Chains A and B, each alone.
Chain A
Amino acid sequence: MSDHAHAIEHHETSTGLDSRKLAIWTFIGSECLFFATLISNYLVHKETWLTGPGPFPHQEWVSPAGQHFEPIIEIPLVTLGTALLLFSSLFVVLALANAQRGNRKGLLLWLGMTIMCGLFFVGMQVYEFTHFVHKGLTLKTNLYGASFFTLTGFHGTHVTLGVIWLITLWIEAFRGKIPPAKSLNLEIAALYWHFVDVVWIVIFPVVYLIT
Chain B
Amino acid sequence: MDAHAPETAAAHEPGHPSTGMYVKIGVILFVLTALEVGLYEFTYGGHASTGGAALQPFFVPLLLLLSAGKFALVAMFYMHLKQDHRLFSGVFVFPLIIATVIILALIVLEAYHFAFARSG
Contacts and interface: CB of A to CB of B under 8 A. Distances in A.
Given A89-B78, A198-B75, A205 B12 contact: no
A29 B23 contact: no
Interface string B22-40: 1101100110010011011
B106 A205 contact: no
Interface in A158-191: 180-185, 187, 190-191
Nearest to A44: B110
Contacts of B64: 205
Interface in B27-61: 29-30, 33, 36-37, 39-41, 44-45, 59-60
A86 to B, nearest CB: 5
Contacts of B45: 58, 75
Contact of B5 (A11, A15, A22): A11
A39 B99 CA distance: 10
A36 B99 contact: yes
A191 B79 contact: yes
A205 B30 contact: no
B9 A184 contact: yes
Contacts of B110: 43-44
A100 interface: yes
A58 B12 CA distance: 45
Q: Give the interface residue-count category, chain B.
A: 35 or more
A202 to B, nearest CB: 6
A94 B102 CA distance: 35
B33 A86 contact: yes
B87 interface: yes
Contacts of B59: 210
A25 B99 CA distance: 15
Contacts of B87: 15, 17, 22
A125 interface: no
Given A40-B103, A201-B70, A184 B22 contact: no
Given A205-B63, A209-B63, A194 B74 contact: yes
B88 A93 contact: no
Interface of B: 1-2, 4-10, 12-13, 16, 19, 22-23, 25-26, 29-30, 33, 36-37, 39-41, 44-45, 59-60, 63-64, 66-67, 70-71, 74-75, 78-79, 85, 87-88, 91-92, 94-96, 98-100, 102-103, 106-107, 110
5 contacts: A26-B91, A40-B106, A86-B70, A201-B74, A211-B44
